A and B are shown apart, each in its own frame.
Chain A
Amino acid sequence: MSGGTPVQRPIQGFDWRKTPGLGVATWVFLAFLYMPLFVLVVYSFNANNLVTIWTGFSLRWFVKVLHNPDIRDAAINSLVIAVVATILSTLLATAAALALERGRNFRGFGTVNGLISLPLVVPEVVVAITTLIFFSSIGLNLGLGNLIIAHTVFCIPFAVLPIRARLKDMGGAYEEAGRDLYADEWRLFRRVTLPLIAPAIGAGGILAFVTSLDDFLISLMVSGPGTTTLPVYVYGMMRLGVTPEVNAISTLLLVLSVSLVVLALLLGRRARSRD
């Protein structure tokens, strides 16, 4: 370029990808994050009685886990709680998401909006203690029921997230088109809104399920004899010494959780790619 005008240089902002040592730091970080998991999974296939000494490949700990009646009972408790809490929290979350994204602007909208996601930031131990105190002060004693109520409540914000995101994302145009084509509110919901947000409801349900299955602190406080959940039972086992059985249970839980989260992601992606 000649002609006197200064050459325009493209404006270069800060580019984090050019930070020196970023590659190494990333690998160290990832190793720090995933090495323990990796070791845990590998040693669940260990033939030795001791967790730390590798002698050979074996599935004996998995077999042992599956034949331990206490573990089985705890696992069934966990599943029953997770399934019921998932259904209840997803229903409530769908209603809440619809009210917040599609409802009229009501007084106190901001407050409700904040309260819905507050459990995501309140320390879990606080929730656990207050739930316990609340249940005992009103004398609620429903066994598994107590756990189901507690889990339903703390699963709601997780289930709300993807459903709200989907409703916001798809905008109001489809629903306006439905109204325009003579759908009243109920049929609009059945025929337009629900099918369009169904994948997000599925994703929210899975998040709720995983959250419930993983929960330890609240379950520890609220559970009693006969209502022990799997994470609480594993914690009890560890106090007697870590056996490879614990590794095997953890591996099973890990595989279940990861596959469900991947499924949730796929559901979310499918919903978005369709329109």
Chain B
Amino acid sequence: MIEVRHVSKVFTTMDIGTVTALAEVSLTINDNEFFTLLGPSGCGKTTLLRLIGGFETPSTGEIRIDGVDVAGLPPHKRRVNTVFQSYALFPHLTIAQNIAFGLEMLKWSKADIDVRVKEMLALVRLEGYGERNAAQLSGGQQQRVALARALAPRPSVLLLDEPLSALDLKLRKGMQVELKRLQRETGITFVLVTHDQEEALAMSDRIAVMSAGHVLQIGRPEDIYDDPNCCFVADFIGEANLIPGALLGRANVNIVTIRPERVTVGPGDAPAARIAGTVAEVTFIGPDTLYDIGLKDGTRMRARVRGDRGRFHAEEPVTVHWPDEAERELAS
């Protein structure tokens, strides 16, 4: 279990002064969990990961790993391993020697190391590649070696910093499945960093959505998707309509959010409508039709309607509908 308590990190640089990379971050990552730090570039994800790994020290706050305060513990004394974004495979060692490195440092016996290296090569499906050099492998293969090397010493936590961002789309989808499988089979806690919300939704047990050094929301993918607690989260995860409360006649509500697929479109004179508007654009995308609808104050709304073969046309007045349970009122 990793407990992050009120952790802040301020960098001081010569040219731009101080940068607050993390501000008062608190979160708990459970054993055996696939936990994801999700947020746009520069929001502090890598910094948080490096704090857990021991490569940076917090400016304030406390980090506990398995109940132990790790302040002052260097990386080599933490049962935490990292898959680096650049992989950082040692170019002077073979694949097998790369995987064995951590085990040698932990003073495993030669026989145990040999067995474990074989096991890890099989786990990442690279049997027979042990004697090659990293430069002879493709990006996807190097990625798997980096995983095998980090998993070999049986860490209690594996940290992954945007591990899939260097791979092309097809390989990335395959590796997502692979990573899930590895996490299930090893039972090790995975902490993944990504800026790709689809990746986060597809892989995680829980997600922490971050922005500008703050953790905005923590929860299961479904909960974060269905129940965002602020505009940033609603907008960053999937697509969201953000409608000023005043437009719906709710003066004391700041913003109402609804997912486009929960919205239905009716003819302009339909009764019991939430709000009226004019179709601005119709896009047919196969199973669904996308409607861009202009509301009276110029706000745009998007509806994604299943099986609707373009019932309405551009410029047509329409009404917009959604069930009560599909909307959330947001304060910010």
Contact = CB atoms under 8 A, between A and B. Distances in A.
10 contacts: A179-B55, A180-B75, A180-B81, A180-B150, A181-B81, A181-B149, A182-B76, A182-B153, A183-B76, A275-B135
Interface string A211-231: 000000000000000000000
A179 B102 CA distance: 9
B92 interface: yes
Nearest to A174: B88
Contacts of B84: 173, 176-177, 180
Contacts of A176: 55, 75, 82, 84, 88
Interface in B145-201: 149-150, 153
Given A180-B76, A184-B76, A191-B101, A274 B92 contact: yes
A195 interface: yes
B91 interface: yes
Main secondary structure of the interface of A (DSSP, over half): helix
B39 interface: no
B86 to A, nearest CB: 5
A274 to B, nearest CB: 5
Given A176-B84, A177-B88, 7 more contacts: A174-B88, A177-B82, A178-B101, A179-B74, A180-B75, A181-B105, A274-B92
Contact of A179 (B76, B86, B153): B76
A196 B88 contact: no
Contacts of B53: 180
Contacts of B106: 182
A100 B150 CA distance: 30
B129 interface: no
Interface of B: 53-55, 74-76, 80-82, 84, 86, 88-92, 101-102, 105-106, 135, 149-150, 153
Contacts of A181: 76, 81, 101-102, 105, 149-150, 153
Contacts of A174: 88, 90-91
A180 B153 CA distance: 11
A174 B93 CA distance: 12
A75 interface: no
B90 A177 contact: yes
A184 B78 CA distance: 12
Contact of B105 (A173, A187, A275): A187
Interface string A23-48: 00000000000000000000000000
A192 interface: yes
B137 to A, nearest CB: 13
A182 B149 CA distance: 12
B141 to A, nearest CB: 16
B92 A182 contact: no
A182 to B, nearest CB: 4
A125 B5 CA distance: 63
B147 to A, nearest CB: 13
Interface in A58-82: none
Nearest to A188: B76
Contacts of B89: 177
Contacts of A182: 76, 102, 105-106, 153
B236 to A, nearest CB: 29
B142 to A, nearest CB: 12
B90 A192 contact: yes
Nearest to A183: B105
A174 B82 CA distance: 12
A192 B101 CA distance: 10
Nearest to A184: B76
A208 to B, nearest CB: 24
A180 B106 CA distance: 12
Contacts of B86: 173
